[in-house]
Amino acid sequence: MAMAWNLSVIVFRGDFGWVAQCLEIDLGAQGESVEASLRDLQQTMVGQAMVDATAGLAPFSDFKPAPAWYHEQYEAAAGHAVFDVNLGPVTGRPLVARLTVRVSS
């Protein structure tokens, strides 16, 4: 059974599109829509996990939490969706990042 790593993500409209920002690790992505920003965040997570695995590190071990402003936006946003990002193929071990996503209006 894969280990699940629970992460929170806030999605909000930025200056140049939509931004998806993870809270527990300061990692984000941008896209032209909510869906595109989440897709790009997934790709960024997989890419970073691959870089970390190549360096012999645990995924995201060098990352700190996102700044407090993102946490405040997450708490203020209503509703959520949950989906999984499979990091197993790039880390060499069963690992799933379970993302709980809230969209700020």
Q: What is the pLDDT of residue 98?
A: 85
The answer to whether residue 60 scores a pLDDT higher than 70 is yes
Whole-number Cα distances in Å, 47 to 44, 58, 91, 104: 5, 13, 10, 26
Other C-beta atoms within 10 Å of 102: how many? 19
> pLDDT digit string (tens) for 30-53?
999 999 999 999 999 999 989 998
The answer to whether residue 1 scores a pLDDT higher than 60 is no
Cβ distance 2 to 88 under 8 Å? Answer: yes
Is the pTM of the predicted complex or chain greater than 0.75?
A: yes
Q: What is the pLDDT of residue 7?
A: 92
Q: What is the pLDDT of residue 39?
A: 92
